[in-house]
Amino acid sequence: MEYRIEHDSMGEVKVPADKYWAAQTERSHENFLIGVGLETMPAEIIHAFGVLKKAAAVANNAVKPEKMTDEKLAAISAACDEVIAGKLMEHFPLVVWQTGSGTQSNMNANEVIANRGNEIAGAKLLHPNDDINMSQSSNDTFPTAMHIAAVIGIEDKLIPAVQLLIDTFKRLEKENEGVVKSGRTHLQDATPITFSQEISGWRSSLEKDVELLKLSINPLKELALGGTAVGTGLNAPAGFDVKVAEAVSQITGKEFVTAANKFHALTSKDELVFAHGAIKATAADMMKIANDIRWLASGPRLGLGEITIPENEPGSSIMPGKVNPTQCEAVTMVAVQVMGNDVAVGMAASQGNFELNVFMPVCIYNFLQSVRLLAEAIVSFNNNCAIGIKANREKMHGNLHNSLMLVTALNPYIGYENAAKTVKKAFKEDISLKEACVALGFLTAEKFDEVFHPEKMV
């Protein structure tokens, strides 16, 4: 491998000749051999750095054009556009497990954009610190990148995925109107419900989750940029924070604003904790929905068997013909991961020391993993399972009429205690509710038929 010599305030460093990064990136690359190749800084954060560095150049050009010239702006913008498009990912090698402020990833972005910008300009025009990092600090850029990435992930990936499944459930509701089945509470027989009502519970849960996710986004649209090192805005010109938020909004097509209190923006991650809570709520509902579906599909002969789901792959290496609810299992495993990530996000957010949180990389790593995994799992679950759910109407009808909890309809006519006696006799002697009720003398056969209508109990 060929190398070139780069330098920083600590001296000279050998850097791979074919890479755009420079001395500070290389030092981090060599000093933090933790999770290399597996747990690098998320691509969403690199994308967000491309956005914010371009926005900073635009803002600097507006407030201090003598420093950020049109020529520099053009070169920076062109390089940032390549970062935003994901064309330069090989030049961002740093791992999550680095400095807690994300300083080295900020410098990685500065170095790559400067070197690529100089290449585009055909001249030594840009300096990583003086130009790409102008009016900024790692302490306000990294939290800004966190918020940009979080908003884009929730708005553009997670919410559309949830909405996809909501739409599938709406279709299934219409298809199953009037299909009456036994309800269940505590995994025990309960009073009747229509299958469309059961599905509506799933659908409504997800609709509530979308509402919660949308509520959590607004606080994330406040940006720390302009706070610089400790929140005072040192070295950032007046008006820079407002203009850079406007530029981020223009680039992303989303409405960002500058944070009113930069001291809070640098040290607190409460907005991310709140938003991840909404993500966890979505994961909790997906856990419940996936469990319901695999219970209802259990069988094919010895389980509930009230629905069928698509058969996607063989389920056993030894039992021929076995098919398992694998999409349900994938969703529930992702839900567990999201719940674990929630602990990491909360713990990381608690580690603000004076004017800076120093657990930011691990915080956003877990946050974005939750967004990515949950969104992808929901899409997979929808496309490979939910859209193919079919009601086994005969099984539902049989289970419904075999349920002892239908006796609840008799309460107004024979009373709770007599209804309980009817159930116990029917269960003990393996006879119908009608036979038990008539044998006990609580109702005549004719009266029982007059008042007992399971399909009307929903």
Phi–psi pair at 411, nearest 5 degrees? -50, -45
> What is d(CA 178, CA 194) in angstroms, rounded to the nearest whole number?
6
Describe the chain by its helix, strand, coil percentages, rounded to 5. Answer: 60, 10, 30
Helix (H) and strand (E) counts in the chain: 17, 10
Question: Amino acid identity of 194?
Answer: T
Token pair for 402: 């075999």
* Contact residues for 156 (Cβ-Cβ < 8 A; gap 6+): none
Token pair for 258: 């500058």
Q: How many CA atoms lie within 13 A of 75 on its CB side?
A: 24
In 307-455, the DSSP E strands lie at 307-308, 352-353, 356-357, 390-391
DSSP state of 121: H
Three-state DSSP at 15 gives: strand
DSSP state of 155: I
Element (H, E) at 361: helix 360-384
Asked, as a colleague might, if the bond just before 300 is cis with ω within 30 of 0, I would say: yes
Q: What angle do CA 282, 286, 288 make, to 5 degrees?
A: 120
Three-state DSSP at 358 gives: coil
Token pair for 6: 């780069």
* Contact residues for 225 (Cβ-Cβ < 8 A; gap 6+): 52, 55, 56, 136, 140, 141, 144, 241, 244, 245, 248, 258
Indicate the pairing of strand 188-194 with strand 307-308: unpaired
User: Residue 95: which region, alpha, beta or left (left: phi > 0; alpha: psi -120 to 50)?
Assistant: beta
- Residues in the chain, total: 458
Closest CA to 191 of 199, 183, 181: 183
> What is d(CA 182, CA 404) in angstroms, rounded to the nearest whole number?
10
By annotation, the residues acting in catalysis are 186, 316
